[in-house]
Structures are given as structure tokens and as C-alpha cells.
Structure 1
Amino acid sequence: MNSIQKKIWTLATIVLFIMAAIWGALTYYNQKTQDQYNDILQRYLRMNEVTSASQHMIASLNNYLLAPTPDNLELLHASKSNIQRAKAEVSELQNVENAFAITSYTNLIDSLVETTDRSLLFQSEKDSEASSDAFDEATRISKYISEMTLTLLDTELKTYDQFYRGIIEQSQELKKTGVLLLLLITFLLLLFTYWFSLSITRPVQKLTLAAKELSRGRFDLQIEVNSNDEISFLAKMFDRMRVNINNLISEIQQKAQLEKELQENKLLLQESQLRSLQSQINPHFLFNTLDTLSKKAYLEGSEETSDLLVSVAGLLRYNLKRLDRSVTLYDEVKVMRQYIDIQRARFTERLRLYADIDDSCLHVQVPGLTLQPIVENAVIHAVEPMEEGGVIWFRIIDGGERVFVEIEDDGPGMTKEKIKQILEEHVVETEGHSTGIGFSNVVKRLRLFYGIDDVMDIQSDGERGTKVILKIPKTRGIDSYDKAPDRG
């Protein structure tokens, strides 16, 4: 994985390499031009050195002829050595164009040396006139050498004039090329620097935006940063932190919801206990009394009264013993029929019940006292207020994974506000109920029992008739309801 530090070092290396390449190219062409210029200058200096050496040699010869001392003789020999060295250097300047001129030039140098030696020889033989003639000849040769040098320099200047102009033009072109190259490299460096900066700033901007979204409480947005440096690693850790926080919040919400449901369950159980305590005043005495009354009515020939007392005793016993336990639909239907029998004794022909029950569904588990409060609500609101009474339709239908229990009446109907209150589990009191279990209480207990919210639907146009539909799963989602303590 590349790091930001590596990227910076890469950028610095590229910049240094480009600068070194430019410097190397400029240095090479400058050195090449300078070498060419130095070569030409050396040619001029070497030719000029021949003139200077010849003149110095004439002066040394004159001094010796005037004063033939060992020091002057030594200076003369030194001058001769200098002109011989200058001759050798000039010979190296020979090429095809100046071969004849250089040859004549070196011959003049040889003639100068030879004339100088001859003047020295005549001086040693005490022939002053001959020595003086040789000196005059050497002087003339020296002048010829000076003139020849000027001629050669002029020839060199003409020969290399085009070369000089080429150097000047090349220098100007090099400057133009250098400026264009510098602009091009500057543009490329700016482009590369912009791309390089984006590779760092763009992931940082994405990370900053993700941090702002997290600060607003949006933990569902995935953080994606396409990079291969430390920022990518930081983004992955940041996204992992987001997921952990989101999971933690979800866990806290689930725990809060569970605590709320447990608290509601506790309140429901406490309410059930309170209601049960109100009706459990010496229940055995009450059951024995009802049984005694039932037998006495039977013995006296009042079988209808006896059946009514049996139904009341069974209903009371069911209410006291089964509220906190799961039962089957069979048990619920049985106690519902007992309740209807009791109400028929009260309303006679004003109460009519039509039942359509699929027996294959009666084994399904439901909370105790689920059907009676709903049927009781239909009796109170659809039968009791009506002078002509009312009709209740009771159906149990197999719906595949669920069992649908429909309780329908032809009463005055239910408003949308009241339906909303019931389904949202607001407390709705029902006048005249005998069990102490309200309509909304049934909704809460069903949702707690099955662990789902979609357990009931209420259909009514608000003017006539109400249908309550229980959507009972055949298998339960939670199994904690039956673990409540037995308060029977």
C-alpha cells in the first residue's frame, strides 16, 4: 500500500529528475559550444605566440651580439626552445584548407632558427660583419613571420565566420527552445501536481462529508474511499466505527423496545391480578354455591336455570384460571359460547349468533380471554342499545400460515378515531364488561404473545356494522408468554 509520504517523495523525485535533465542538457550544449570556441581561440593564440616568440628571439639575439655573456646566451637558447615549441603547436593546426600556408609558415620559422644559428656562428668566429648580416636577415624573417601570422589569422577568421554565425544562431535557438521547454515542463508539472493533490484531497473531502453525515445521525450511509494510502485505511476504520455505532444504536433501540414490551406485559399482568383479586373473594365458596344452586334448580325442574348457573360457574372459573396462560381456540370458543348462553338468558331472542367454524383450526394456541372481550364488546354496543336486538357473526377460517377469526355485528359501527385508538393500544374503556379485559388490552396481549404487530384489523364505515378480524399465526414467534407466574 502506497503512503502519502511515498507519493510526496515520488513527486519530489520527478521534479528533481526533470530539473537535473534540463540542467544536464543545457550544460552539455553550453560546454560543447564553449569547447568549439576554445578550439578556435587556441588556434589564434598559438599563431600569435609564434609572432611573439620570433620577436623575443630577435631581441635575445641582439642582446647577445651586443653583450655576448653566458646569461644572454642562455636567454637566447630559451627563446629558441619557445619558438620550436610554438612551431610544433602550429603544425597541429594544419588541415586540408590551410596545409600550404602552414607549411610555408613552419618553413619561415625554420629559416629564422637557422639564420639565428648562423649569426651565432659568425659571432663565435669573430666575423662581425657576417654576423650582422645574418642578424638583419633574421629580423626580416621575423617580420615575414608577423605578416604571415596576420594573414593566417585573417584566413582563419574568414574560414570560421560562418561557424561563428552558426554558434550565435544556435545560442538563440537554444534560448527559444529552453523557454518553450520550460513552459511545457511547468505546465506538465502543474497538471501532475493538480492530479497528485486530488489523489489526496478528494478522499479527505469524502471522509469529511461522511463525518458531517454521521454528526447529523445518518449511520446508514456507507463510507467508500477509492485510495491506496493511509486515508483508505482511515476510511475503512471510520466505516467500521459507523457500522458498530449503528449496530449499537439498533441494539439499544431493540432493548428499549423489549423493556417497553416487558413493562407493558408487567402492567397487563398487574391489572389482571387486580381484576382477579376483585373477583376472587373466596372463589371456592362461590363455586360451591353456584354448584349447589345449579343442582337445586335441576332438582326443582328448572333445567334452563341450572344450565345458566353452570355456564356462569365455568365462565368465572375460566376467567380466574386461564388469563395468564396460553389456551387453544377450542377452549376460547367453548367459553365464548358459555358467555353467549348467559347473554341469551338476558336478551332472549334479541341476541342472535351465527357461527361458521373450521374445526381443523381449533388446536391453535392463543392467549386466554381473547375472544370473549371482543364478543362482549359486540353485545354491549350492537345488541344491548338496540330495541330489536342485533346479530353477531362468528367465523374461524383457515388462511394457510394464519387462522382468521372474524367477529362481525350489525350495530351502529365504530369511528376511525376509536379504531385508531384501539390499534395503537390506547386505553379504551368498555361499559358493562364483566371480565375486566378491555379491547386495547386484547391487542397488546396478542402482540406480546406472537411477537408481531399485525394481529388485528377492524373494518367499519362508522355508520352500520363492525367487523373485527384476528390474524392468528399457527406458530408463535416468541415463547415467553407462558413463562409468566401462575396466579390461579
Structure 2
Amino acid sequence: MTTSIQKKIWILASVVLTIMAVIWGALTYYNQKTQDRYNDILQRYLRMNEATVASQQLVASLNNYLLSPTTDRLAQLQAGRDAMLRAKSEASRLRNADNDFEMSSYLHLIDSLVETTDRTLLFHDLKDAEASGRTFSEATRISKYISEMTLALIDKELKTYERFYRGIIEQSEALKRLGLWLLLLITFSLALFAYWFSSSITKPVFTLIQAAKELSRGRFDLKIEVASNDEMSFLAKMFDRMRININHLFLEIQEKAQLEKELQQSKLLLQESQLRSLQSQINPHFLFNTLDTISKKAYLEGSEETSDLLVNVASLLRYNLKRLDRSVTLYDEVRVLQQYIEIQKARFSERLRFHTDIDDSCLHVQLPGLTLQPIVENAVIHAVEPREDGGVIWFRVADGPERVTVEIEDDGPGIAPSVVERMLEGLSPEAESHSTGIGFANVVKRLRLFYAVEDVLDIESGVGAGTKIVLKLPKTRRSEAYVQGPDRG
């Protein structure tokens, strides 16, 4: 049977109540014992004092009767005599080893007072006024002796019980010290118990919090365990079961995503094969001959710029159709790039400013076909087309000891660091879908496959700082893995 948090709270309350009850009981017992002893001593003093009061009342009643002997005063005198005898009986109970002698004298005085009172009444009844007056004086003197003896006995009692009084004071001080130590002990015990009780709740909660943090980081492989036997353990088990279910669901999603990715790749391959099939069905010569005819007709009609534009379009189409799967020289790429720029200048006019700095001595280097035009096309799309005043593109070719460096730079809006990382990894940037070419990611993959090295391209860019694409083309290839056509270079 598990111990729930509610039961732990009841245990804590029971422990506190038990400790309070024990302390209350001990203090009550000690106080009652001391009070009983104190009451007993007080009763002794009161009984001794009763004898003094009774003797004084007896003498007063006797005097009243002698002055005026009536029936009522005789009854009062008889009541006083009975009270004196009762006081004697009560006083005799106070005898002990310490006051035996004094108590004997005290009781004899009481007997003498009663006897003197009886003799005074007898002489009064005999009409002997002198004798009754003498015995009354003796009774008065005995009453004074009783009062003095009472004070002496009380004083002796005080001396006898002095140690008891001092003991009460000492015990009170000891009780205060004991109470202080008990308070400290109870406080320490309750603090330990409260720490244990709170830890039994907070530690499992902290474990669950840590597990939640790990789950938020994607760590679904860590088992969640809580060493307790209350609701927290049940909650941890349910939490761990949820972790397992989420992990299974995550794996299923990954598997589905992988399947969807493979299916998408299959669709892309199918579309590519369909496109190549459609491309093979079109007679390229018919398209080129048609463009040549339109170009010549435009020239004859005096539209020389239109004729040149059509010639450039025809050359660019011919190059794109024949050079995609074969290697070319850097000279060929530069030439077709210039044709592409002429076409774009016809479109953008003065908005497109294209500057070149080319070292002709290194244009013999081999590279995959259609490498430069997609990169420049991206620069046109992002640095020139969106801006009303257009943009500037710099194209540089420089020779080096082992590599030829090709730089394509623009003054456009730049690229975010996360997008730069994707592009260097060969992944398509988000905006590449606007390109009409084969794509930047395709260029990166073909360059690495062509040269069999990874370090063939750098991107220097920042948001609002323009973009520079740097191609580092080796002068010699390490692998012939790149598939080339029949007339590969």
C-alpha cells in the first residue's frame, strides 16, 4: 500500500500534535504535583490559624454571655466551644516528628482554654462573680498563648518547608532550562522532519523538471525514474510513458519524412526523365534555324539591336542544351556569360552595371558547363531586379599557383548567415526558386563532384553588405568521376 502525500501530511501533523501532547502532559503532571504539595502546606497553616480564630471567638462569646446571660448568647458560646474542639481535632492531624513537642503544648493549651471556659460558666451559674472573673481572665490569657503558639508553629513550619520552597524555585528555573532545551530539540527535530518531508516532494518534482528540460531539448532516450512511493512516483511513470510514446511518434514521423523525401526524389527523377524525354522530342536545329531567320529578318528591316539580341538568345540556348553534361573551358563560360549579360542589359538598360577584370592567361582551365551563368543570374535577381536604381555586379578572374580564382560580387541586400551555411552545404536557399537556371545548389554539387574536393567555393556576405561568391578552381583534376559527353574537354 503506497504512502500518499496526504498521508505524509497527516503523519507530520500527528507527530507535531504528539510532541505537543507529551510536553503538555508532563508540564501538567509536574504542576499538579507541586500544587498539591503547596496546597497541603497551605492547609496546615489555615488549620493552625483556625485554632487561633476559634479561641478568640470563644473568649468573645464568653465575655458576651457574662455581661448578658441570654439563651442566644449561651448557644453562641456553646457553638464557639464546639468550634474550638474541632480546631483541636484538625490541629492534631498536623503532628509530625519535627513539631511533636510544640504540638503537644499547643493541644494542651486548647484543652486548658475549653476547661477554663467550663469553669467560668460554672462559677457564673453559682453566682460567684469573683471566681468567674478570675477564670475569664485566665481564659483570655490562654487565648493569647494559643495565638502566640500558633505563630510559633507557623514559623517552625516555614523553616521546616523552606527547602521545599527553595526546591520549587530551583525546579522552576530547571523547568525553564528544560523547556528551552526541549524547544530547541523539538525545533531541530521538526526541521529535520520538515526537510525530509519537503525533500520527498521537491526531489521528485526537481527530477520531473530536469526530465522536462531534457525532453524540450529533444532527449527522448533518458529514462525517468523517481525513488518514492507516493503520487510523484505514479506521475513519473506516466511522464516516462508519455516520453516513450512521444519518442515512438517522433521515430514514426522521421520514418514517414524519410519515405516522403524518397518519394519526392522519385517524383523529381520522374519529372526530370519526362523533361529530358520532351527535350529529346524537340528538334533543336528547327529552333535555332527559326531564331537565325528572325535575326536576319530583323537585320534586313534595320533592327540591328533586335538581331543581336536574337543571336545571343540562340547561342545561349544552344550552349545550355549541349553543355549541361560535359566539361568546358573557362573561356567558353566567360563567352556565354557575356552573351547572357547582353540579354539582361537589353532588359534592364542602365540599371544593370557589369564590370569585368579578367586574366586571359588562365581561361584554359576546365570546369563543368553552366557554372557561371546561374551564379550571375542569382546576382541579377537579388541585386538588380528588385531595386529601382538597379545594381552593380563585378566579375573577376585571377590566376594563382595551383588554382584560378573567379569572383562574382554584387552590391545587393546580402545573405543571412543561416542561408550562407545552407548554400555551402549544397542545400537550396529559400529564394532560389525565383531562378530560371539550374540552381545554385546544383552548381555547388557539380563543382565538388567535378574536382573531387570540397573546398571549391566560398561565400562572403552579410545582411545589407552585398555578396561575393568566390570560386577556387583547381588547375588539375583529382578524379574523373564527373560524367562528360562525347566531346568533353
Q: Compute the TM-score of the two structures, normalised by the length of structure 1.
A: 0.54
| Structure 2 residue 224 is matched with structure 1 residue 223 | yes
Match of 1:234 in 2: 235
1:191–1:67 Cα change, 3 Å? same
Alpha-carbon deviations, 1:6-37, whole Å to 9, x = none?
A: 21221121112112222222222222222222
| CA-CA distance at 1:203 after TM superposition | 1.2
Match of 1:196 in 2: 197
Alignment partners' CA distance in 2, 1:217 and 1:71: 111
Give matches, 1:175-194, under 5 Å: 175-194=176-195
Question: Which amino acid letter does the alignment assign opposite residue 23 of structure 1?
Answer: W
Match of 2:324 in 1: none
Match of 2:57 in 1: 56
Match of 2:124 in 1: 123
Give matches, 1:26-175, under 5 Å: 26-175=27-176
1:464–1:225 Cα change, 3 Å? closer
Alignment partners' CA distance in 1, 2:165 and 2:115: 38
1:198–1:70 Cα change, 3 Å? same
| CA-CA distance at 1:465 after TM superposition | 8.7
Corresponding residue SS for 1:126 = coil
| Structure 2 unmatched ranges of 5 or more | 281-424, 427-441, 447-476, 482-489
Alignment partners' CA distance in 1, 2:184 and 2:479: 90
| CA-CA distance at 1:3 after TM superposition | 1.7
Match of 2:5 in 1: 4
Question: Which amino acid letter does the alignment assign opposite residue 125 of structure 1?
Answer: L
| Structure 2 residue 18 is matched with structure 1 residue 17 | yes
Alignment partners' CA distance in 2, 1:204 and 1:244: 21
| CA-CA distance at 1:54 after TM superposition | 0.5
Alpha-carbon deviations, 1:260-289, whole Å to 9, x = none?
A: 33444566567778989999xxxxxxxxxx
Larger displacement relative to structure 2 (77-86 or 50-59): 77-86
Alpha-carbon deviations, 1:220-266, whole Å to 9, x = none?
A: 22221112221221111111111111111111111222233344456
1:67–1:3 Cα change, 3 Å? same
1:175–1:278 Cα change, 3 Å? closer
Alignment partners' CA distance in 2, 1:61 and 1:228: 88
Alignment partners' CA distance in 2, 1:73 and 1:464: 151
Alignment partners' CA distance in 2, 1:78 and 1:245: 102
Alignment partners' CA distance in 1, 2:36 and 2:65: 42
How many residue pairs match? The answer is: 293
Match of 1:368 in 2: none
1:68–1:268 Cα change, 3 Å? same
- Percent identity of paired positions between Structure 1 and Structure 2: 70
| Structure 1 unmatched ranges of 5 or more | 280-419, 430-461, 467-488
Alignment partners' CA distance in 2, 1:110 and 1:72: 22
Alignment partners' CA distance in 2, 1:111 and 1:463: 147
Question: Which amino acid letter does the alignment assign opposite residue 140 of structure 1?
Answer: R
Give matches, 1:240-259, under 5 Å: 240-259=241-260
Corresponding residue SS for 1:2 = coil
| CA-CA distance at 1:213 after TM superposition | 2.3
Alpha-carbon deviations, 1:116-169, whole Å to 9, x = none?
A: 122223323333333222222211221221121122122212222222222222
RMSD: 3.0
Match of 2:371 in 1: none
Corresponding residue SS for 2:219 = coil
Alignment partners' CA distance in 2, 1:189 and 1:177: 18
Alignment partners' CA distance in 2, 1:165 and 1:278: 123
Alignment partners' CA distance in 2, 1:77 and 1:278: 152
Alignment partners' CA distance in 2, 1:242 and 1:74: 103
Alignment partners' CA distance in 2, 1:57 and 1:464: 144
Give matches, 1:413-452, under 5 Å: none
Corresponding residue SS for 1:29 = helix
Alpha-carbon deviations, 1:302-323, whole Å to 9, x = none?
A: xxxxxxxxxxxxxxxxxxxxxx
Alignment partners' CA distance in 1, 2:34 and 2:240: 63
Corresponding residue SS for 1:151 = helix
Alpha-carbon deviations, 1:336-381, whole Å to 9, x = none?
A: xxxxxxxxxxxxxxxxxxxxxxxxxxxxxxxxxxxxxxxxxxxxxx
Alignment partners' CA distance in 2, 1:270 and 1:147: 136
Match of 1:286 in 2: none
Alignment partners' CA distance in 2, 1:211 and 1:80: 96
1:255–1:158 Cα change, 3 Å? same
Match of 1:300 in 2: none
| CA-CA distance at 1:93 after TM superposition | 1.0
| Structure 2 residue 207 is matched with structure 1 residue 206 | yes
Alignment partners' CA distance in 1, 2:132 and 2:266: 148
Question: Which amino acid letter does the alignment assign opposite residue 67 of structure 1?
Answer: S
| CA-CA distance at 1:62 after TM superposition | 0.6
